Structures are given as structure tokens and as C-alpha cells.
Amino acid sequence: MVGSERVTAATIALVAAPPILAFALVAGFLAAETLGFRPLDAEPANVSEASAMGAAAAALRFIANGSDPNIPRVIAPGVLGNAPRTVNAIDAAILGRQPEMIQLLRQSGATVADLRRSQCLADAVQFPEALSILGIAGTPSAVVSTGEADDPIEACLRDGGRN
């Protein structure tokens, strides 16, 4: 054989590496999906998450399938910041600054569970428009002092905005 026609192990490895790497990547994603991880899925997991994201169709689908928007559900980290939050759909829409979602949720039977907490959350995220949409009369409350709490949202959720 002439030297240019000879196939070496290094040449085979160089040619085979990209398909093998691609197969390993696809197999990894399939394994993650099988185990319940959603590495590339941005679909909301529940009605509260959908409300926070402003995903109206998903929120309506959850409600149509029997999900009660008034029951607090966990919103995964990364949707409303780094910390997970457990809130109902209206409070999730407030935290996500989604005025249209608040109106849609109200039309779909969602209610405000705790007026003070909802007002506190609207104040914490500087979303005063939520107060008029929710029919909360008056001006924003000064119940959350960022000097007293590192996380004003957590303070609202913990004690409903009561000092």
C-alpha cells in the first residue's frame, strides 16, 4: 500500500468523534427527560407558573383541566428570580408584572385570597397598576421596608405584609 492510502487509527478516531459525541449528547437529553428533568423545556409546570410567565393559553389550559387558580403552587427557581415561590395564580401574576393575566384570571374565577398580601406584593415589585386591576382602593401601602428585609417579596409571603 502507498502511504497516502493507509488508514490509521488516528484518522478513524478523528472521523468518528463528531457522530459519537452527537449520539452521547442526544442520549444524555433523552435520559434527562426520562428522569423528569426538562433541560430545554420552557413550558410552565402549573397555573401559578403560567401566570407568572404571562402564558395565558397555558394558564387557561390548566384551569380547564381542573386546576384551581386559588391554590398556592410552587414556582420554580428561575421564573421569578433565584428563589422558588409558593403562591396562587393572582399573586404569581402580580410578581410577574402581568396585568393582562390578572384580568384573565379574575374572569376565570380566581380570587384575591389576602388583600394585604397582594397589595404588599404589588408594592414590593413596584407594580401599582395591579391595585386598580384588583379593585383595591387607596394608594400603595408602605408595609414593606426593604431596609427591614433582604427579600421584601418573602416578607410579604411570610406575614402578608403585616409588620
Query: Each residue of 106-155: pLDDT tens digit?
Result: 999 999 988 899 999 999 999 999 988 988 775 555 444 444 457 899 99
In this structure, what are the phi and psi dihedrals at residue 103, rounded to the nearest 5 degrees? -65, -45
pLDDT at 7: 76
**Mean pLDDT in residue range 64-81:** 92
Model confidence at 90: pLDDT above 90 = yes
Question: pLDDT tens, 1-55?
Answer: 455 567 788 888 888 888 888 888 888 877 877 776 666 667 899 999 999 999 9
Taking phi over 0 as left and psi of -120 to 50 as alpha, with beta for the rest, 58 belongs to alpha
H-state helical runs in the chain:
9-34, 47-53, 56-64, 89-95, 99-107, 115-124, 129-134, 152-159
